[in-house]
Structure 1
Amino acid sequence: MKKIYALLVLAGFAHAASAADIVGNAQAAPAKIEMCIGCHGIPGYKATFPEVFQVPMIGGQSAKYIENALKAYQKGERKHPSMKGIAASLSEQDIADVAAYYSQQTAK
């Protein structure tokens, strides 16, 4: 039993280490941000699904904020259906890359 517990603990550390190793690459993001530009790239844009929603500009936000927001949509902690669907399609590396890209943009 102790051996199984030790293996589970080691597996947990390995998973945490691999997640911590993900580094965002802004140069890898252009193909990944195409779905973001349609809403987040238009100043003053309002989405009308599922209700009228002021779409925030994300250029210049911190990478950590963007990562946390996308992960919250994935988990259902944030409730916008379009963003939940988009976030669900992203890997952890995609999220890190998109966050790195937008954090390097200037706020408009």
Structure 2
Amino acid sequence: MYSKYSNVPKEYLSLKVLQTLDENSALCTDANFNVVKVIIKDKLLYDGLPIYGTFVLVDTYRYITVKNVAKTVPVYMPFEDYVELMESLNEDNKQSENPVGMKMIL
């Protein structure tokens, strides 16, 4: 990884940087070739309160306000939880006779 991402723990370096977006974020690929946006900064605001750490953008949430205005907000997962989830999914796929993503041919 690039030197500006040196605060990422070494066990997470299996992610490969595709493109840096700015000084705090990059698009990366994981072991399953999923593209994820990694947010690396000291704080992320959640309901106006700071949360410190490294995060992965996993989804967006869209809703309609009471004033009938559509809003979309990012959904972040702590980086450590994302890596743990990916590792557990990989383990499940290895133990399964028909791994996720593999189609049975009849």
Shared topology, TM-score over 0.5?
no
Which structure: greater strand fraction? 2
Bucket of the pairwise TM-score, normalised by the shorter protein: under 0.3
Which structure: greater helix fraction? 1
Indicate the structure whose relative CO is greater, using CA pairs within 8 Å and at least 6 residues apart: 1
